[in-house]
Amino acid sequence: MTKDLHAEQVAYWTGEGGENWLAREARLDAMIAALGERGIAAAGAQPGQAVLDIGCGTGPTTRALARIVGPGGSVTGLDLSSAMMAEAARRAGAEGLTNARFVVGDASVYPFEPGVFDLMFSRFGVMFFGDPAAAFTHLRRALKPNGRLAFLCWRSFKENPWALVPFMAGVPLLPAMPRPGPDDPGPFSFGEPERVRRILGAAGFADLRIEPVDTVVTLSGVGLDETARLAMDFGPLARAMRDVPPETREKVAGAVRHALTPHLVDGAVRLAAACWLVRAANA
């Protein structure tokens, strides 16, 4: 069961998920940039350190970490999507960063050398493992004995209006679909802090700190149509919209635009977002 759900995530991110992210990367990055900065500041990378950026996408946080660790350190960005890794390498090269490298692979099974990283970081890239305790156990083995883990993940779906508002608008127009189980991988699967504690504890991490981060994100600053499309391409609404005919898509787009209208201020749709900043140490 968990294996199939993991395979589904791998298929999604190596396929349409990765392509969609790449196509809208600038907007998505702008939406979560400040959260990433907060996470990077809390992670406390130091010059000379070796860092792993898990599920790094096109590598904005990998590049930021590479600037912090400097030429004496190194950052490995790892992601399932080869298209995103190619783009990440291109961008790091364009910035002249020689201490960032990008690797295509599944973080839950990637053959890391044991005990090599001082720090593992992720901005919203660790909630997609079919068996998260096994994945974090595997990842921890690649940390140095006193190495640290720091990541950002979303809190529950209902605490994240940026995803909830478009979903609630669109879902009545869509065929019924099974609700994801509480342990199913997905963007909101780490919403329950006790679950995060259980997973990281089972994986052998110690000194767990789980801190709420509340903010307002700009879904898009380019008007309602594009914002509605963005909302329909990501997260739970995108999943519910798979295989719907064009006329239903149009109706959903109308409903989503309508629901987002009250949140449009000066041309930008802004909605609340809630995350956990999770920190732990190799026990």
- Interacting residues toward ligand SAM by CB under 6 A: 9, 13, 18, 21, 29, 32, 55-57, 60-61, 78-81, 84, 106-108, 123-125, 128-129
DSSP-derived secondary structure letter, 149: E
CB of 234 to ligand SAM, least distance (A): 8
Residue whose CB is less far from ligand SAM, 184 or 264:
184
Residue whose CB is less far from ligand SAM, 87 or 226:
87
Residue whose CB is less far from ligand SAM, 21 or 205:
21
CB of 246 to ligand SAM, least distance (A): 27
CB of 31 to ligand SAM, least distance (A): 10
Residue whose CB is less far from ligand SAM, 79 or 233:
79
CB of 254 to ligand SAM, least distance (A): 27
Residue with the closest Cβ to ligand SAM? Answer: 55
- Residue 37's Cβ-count burial label (10 Å; 0-12, 13-18, 19+) is middle
- Report the C-alpha dihedral over residues 67, 124, 250, 239, rounded to 10 degrees: 140
- Three-state DSSP class for residue 249: helix
CB of 258 to ligand SAM, least distance (A): 27
Cα–Cα–Cα angle for 83, 85, 86, nearest 5°? Answer: 65
Residue whose CB is less far from ligand SAM, 36 or 147:
36
Question: Residue 143 — φ and ψ, nearest 5°?
Answer: -85, 150
- Residues with Cβ < 8 Å from 15, sequence gap 6 or more? none
Taking alpha carbons only, the member of 30, 97, 20, 12 closest to residue 268 is 30
